[in-house]
Amino acid sequence: MKEQVATHPAWTRRRWLTAGSGLLCSGKAVCHGGTDANDSIEGSVRRKDRHADSFRTLVALGESTTAGGWSTSRERCWVSVLGDLINDFQSSEMQVFNSGIGANVISTRSPCYAYSGKPAASERLDKHVIEHDPDLLVISYGLNDARGGTPLKLFRQELLRLVDRVRASIEPLIVLLGPYYMNDFTVGGEGWSHADLALFGQFNKVIGKVAEKKDCLYVDLLSAYQETDWMIHYDGVHANDLGHRIVANRIFEKIAQNCSGIAQQTQKAEKTSPRWRDESTLRSNY
């Protein structure tokens, strides 16, 4: 009996993309692109463009890793790397303000506030964020509050209040970061030893829910690290240069997926750029 061979239409680029989305998502899971697995590429809702122009000003508000701990230079801190990535693609240069403070917490209501790096985010929001009038704001809290014993409910309240206060004065695109990965939960003594990775996971989920509720972008940094110890400084808490790069890349990826303004320069260049590839040597071998 002759074997029946199924015939298929040509594998176009669109068919590859469609098949790829099916492989990445299953059941009711939501893909990274924001569409349900049961939706076809043609039938899916277009991604919301959250910023169609080049960014003017980036402010990063956060803790010691935001401030640069412990990158080997200012240029290797994730805030600087993120600024360079965005400016590399934008048609105009964006200003970058790093408002990170070591041992900082989200609020004066945090139990560890008394021995934290002051002023807290809630105290310095006007001066360190709103006065700069950013159109891109990255907020990075959770790690120190988890370590310092801030209850999840209180942290959620303070993060919601922080976002509301920003939007009462200015309207930047807000990116909320989950906690960084660390591997020594004894650093800093008893006052900073209230957390573990399981609690970090809970803070991570709360931050994601706040981002969803307040229409912010959300970046899951724990998944970016994948518990990779060689991305951590030898102090067991802060990112090293590699960790800073991974953090910056993950934030840039999220912004690029949601803001078309970053693509303006490359979209313009692609229409006139010369064809620079030379494959003649590779082809001549065959």
CATH of the domain at 77: 3.40.50.1110
Is position 44 within any domain?
Answer: no
281 vs 279: CA distance, rounded Å: 6
**282 pLDDT exceeds 90?**
no
Is position 279 within any domain?
Answer: no
Could you tell me the pLDDT band of residue 45, with boundaries at 50, 70 and 90?
low
Instruction: Give the up-direction half-sphere exposure of residue 73: CA atoms within 13 A in the CB hemisphere.
Output: 3
Query: Which alpha helices (DSSP H) does the chain contain, by range?
Result: 13-24, 64-67, 78-89, 121-128, 143-147, 152-169, 197-213, 221-225, 241-258, 264-269, 280-284
Is position 36 within any domain?
Answer: no
pLDDT in tens, 154-207: 999 999 999 999 999 999 999 999 999 999 999 999 999 999 999 999 999 999
Strand-pairing partners, residue 36, are 30
- Determine the 3-state secondary structure of 231 from DSSP: helix
Is position 5 within any domain?
Answer: no
Is position 159 within any domain?
Answer: yes
Is position 129 within any domain?
Answer: yes
Domain that holds residue 189: 57-264
CA distances from 193 to 86, 184, 204 (A): 36, 9, 18
**Mean pLDDT of all residues belonging to the chain:** 88
How many domains does the chain contain in total?
1
Q: Mean pLDDT over residues 10-30, rounded?
A: 37
pLDDT at 27: 35
Instruction: Give the up-direction half-sphere exposure of residue 281: CA atoms within 13 A in the CB hemisphere.
Output: 2
The angle, 0 to 180 degrees and rounded to 10, between the axes of the packed helices 121-128 and 152-169 is 20
pTM of the model: 0.84
29-43, 99-113, 160-174: range with lowest mean pLDDT: 29-43
